[in-house]
Structure 1
Amino acid sequence: MTSGYAAITKLRKFIAGPVERCDFCRVRVPDEHAHLVEARTLRMFCACAGCAAEMTDDGLGFRRIEQRQESLAGFQMADSDWAMLQIPIDVAFLFRPEDGAEPIAMFPGPAGATRSQLSADVWSELAERYPVLGELAPGAEALLVNRSSGRRDHYRVSTDHCYALTGLMRARWRGLTGGEEAWAAIDQYFTELDHATTPGGVAHA
């Protein structure tokens, strides 16, 4: 499977050309370089080694994205809890908020990633029932929920997977419901993710 990092790298090269640069100081960076996320906005940035260290050490709200793709064996979110999120499609990412910030759910679609603001009360209720939500690195990790095609699969993934899946859906989505090609590509994405993930063995309370 193409990792989230690789997918984002290919996308950025397509847009910006073959030379990638640090988004902070504009120095050229190698293919394997740090990615940072601004926890409050979920914007992702390429960073050279120096800027990665500086931006994550100064309390500026940036977090380094550490590659993660972990299947949560034994984890099941109840249908009633999923309904509380009011997500209009069967795929979503849940992000733990920074202190004092609003929790965020994101779902991919034809226009890219759409944010669904959650109330603090809903988040607290879910986090109490599903402790893994409280273990996520704010902005840098998400709980990925896949309920498409009758599945009930859950993963703890780094934020680059959000960008990779969102890019896939944006490229393939047709009409109001996405179309067969889009959902076939999504099914393939999750099949490959299953093969690449490590079992987390995390069960809900």
Structure 2
Amino acid sequence: MSVDGALARVIRSAADRAERAEAEVCELCAAPVGTEHAHLYETGAAEVRCVCRLCSVLFAADGAGEGRYRLVPRRRLRLPPVDTAVLGVPVGLVFFVPRSDGTVTAQGPSPAGAMRWEVDTAAWRRLAAGVPLLASLAPDVEALLVNTVRGLDEHWIVPVDDCFRMTALIRREWRGLSGGGRVWPAVEQFFKELTERS
């Protein structure tokens, strides 16, 4: 065997190992998952877990995860402008998540992750009475996502994994004290790429 052939085999083997290491796997059974895959919300850790199609089927019915895991729905729905000022949230890029315990949290993405605070539940109920689709949000796994930054007026019902994806995008793109020149175009692109789905 030539030195060139052996070196090519070592390089190819290392590239294959790196590709396998980067490939996402199901966090329940370790099976490979594709680019588009389902997610479970782990309630105790408040984190989203990647799952394969077969494992996602196990959690499709309500109560299947005994409260520990909830299947994140895929629904995305663009809403007309919603007056979220009544909720007392002082930021223009925020997502609101109703919780299983009846509370509602607001989370604003920042370079350090998501800032989180509780919303007055009576104010949320009044808002949901005026916008009935908000009452249909699945607790813990769907959110009202709002962006009124830089002249935008975006209001969406989205799965929470979209919100976590946006938070990660901001952490990745933020530079300096004000965000720099990359973060806001990236946020605008994120919203342009949102598509409605049921």
Q: How does 1:120-159 map to 2 (within 5 A)?
A: 120-159=121-160
Q: Work out the CA distance in 2 between the residues paired with 1:156 and 1:142.
A: 6
Q: Structure 1 counterpart of 2:74, which letter? A: Q
User: Structure 1 regions of 5+ residues with no counterpart?
Assistant: 1-13, 201-205
Q: Does 1:86 align with 2:93?
A: no
Deviations 1:175-200 (A, max 9, x none): 3332332112212222232xx336x9
Q: Work out the CA distance in 2 between the residues paired with 1:41 and 1:103.
A: 17
Which position in structure 2 is the counterpart of 1:97?
99
Deviations 1:19-38 (A, max 9, x none): 4333234x323325431013
Provide the identity percentage: 32
Which position in structure 1 is the counterpart of 2:12?
none
**Matched length:** 176
Which position in structure 2 is the counterpart of 1:45?
49
Q: Work out the CA distance in 1 between the residues paired with 2:123 and 2:21.
A: 43
Q: Structure 2 counterpart of 1:175, which letter? A: G
Q: Is the 8 A contact 1:24 1:47 kept in 2?
A: yes
Q: Work out the CA distance in 2 between the residues paired with 1:64 and 1:106.
A: 20
Q: Does 1:71 align with 2:70?
A: no
Q: Is the 8 A contact 1:38 1:139 kept in 2?
A: no
Q: Structure 2 counterpart of 1:197, which letter? A: E
**Please, what TM-score do these two structures have when normalized by structure 1?**
0.72
Which position in structure 2 is the counterpart of 1:23?
27
CA distance 1:58–1:77, change in 2 (3 Å): closer
Larger radius of gyration: 2
- Cα shift at 1:54: 4.4
User: Structure 2 regions of 5+ residues with no counterpart?
Assistant: 1-17
Deviations 1:1-48 (A, max 9, x none): xxxxxxxxxxxxx9x9324333234x3233254310135754101234
Q: Work out the CA distance in 1 between the residues paired with 2:123 and 2:44.
A: 18
Higher relative contact order (CA 8 A, sep 6+): 1
RMSD of the alignment, in Å? 2.7
